[in-house]
Structures are given as C-alpha cells and as structure tokens.
Amino acid sequence: MECIFCDIVTKKASSWMIYQDEYISAFFDYFPASKWHVMIVPNKHYANIFEIPDDILSKISSLSKKISIFYKENLWIENINIIQSNWKDAWQEVFHYHMHLVPRSENDKINFHWDYDENIRDEYDELKEFIANWIK
C-alpha cells in the first residue's frame, strides 16, 4: 500500500514535522491553503473516520486545540478552519485519516461556501429521534 502520510510518519518522506509521539504526528501541509496550514494524522494507517479508534481521534482533536491556542497566543491568529473529510465525494484525496488546521485571514483566497437546500429541513423532525436513540 502506497501512502504519503505513512511515509511521512516513518520518515521515508520528508516533511516539516512540528509534533510526533507514538500515536499521532503533525506537520505543515506540502500544498498549503494558507500560511501555517497543518495536517494532523494518526501514525497507524486508518483510511477515515469510520476506521480510526476513539482514543486516537481524541488525541488528534486535543492536539488541534493545542496548536490553535499556540496560533492565537503566539501568531495572533484567531480564525481557523478545522477540516476533516471522508471519501472522494467529501473531498478526501489521501485515504489516510487526517485533519487540516487552516489559519484564515481577511481576504484570503479560500472559499468554503455552499448553497443550502432548505427543503432538507423537512426531514429533520422524522430523523432526529431515530438518530438520538441510535446514539444512546
């Protein structure tokens, strides 16, 4: 299996690594959307949100907060998108779970906009209890 993130974690590929422990790694994105764009990945290969164990997911989430706080306190960046995509139609391009931290600034070239469909709301009432019960 060929995976660039596995290669980065094992140092077979170069990167700008900013954090690594036995479970997760964080490095600057090679194709950044903005200055200081960071990727956080599990060291073990999991393709997506459906495969990654909860404890590893929690470590990634915690590190995303720590890096965000660093950006706020040291780089004065308060606007950050945290993005995680699963499968092709959701824009996942590397099929190794990863989270993007994308610092934002006024008039940057990033556009995350979608046209909403208010008719979808009609289904919320029937689905909300089903989902709530399933989660319990």
Lowest mean pLDDT among 12-26, 64-78, 83-97: 83-97
The partner residues of 100 in beta bridges, in order of sequence, read 39, 83
- In the numeric block, which tokens belong to residue 35? 């200055």
Q: What pLDDT is stored for residue 84 in this prediction?
A: 93
Q: How many CB atoms lie within 10 A of CB 124?
A: 9
Is pTM beyond 0.85 here?
yes
pLDDT tens figures, 27-66:
999 999 999 999 999 999 999 999 999 999 999 999 999 9
Average pLDDT over residues 80-96: 85
**pLDDT of 123 higher than 90:** no
Average pLDDT over residues 68-89: 91
SS (H, E, C) 19-79: EECCCEEEEECCCCCCCCCEEEEECCCCCCCCCCCHHHHHHHHHHHHHHHHHHHHHCCCCC
Amino acid present at 1: M
Q: What pLDDT is stored for residue 90 in this prediction?
A: 67
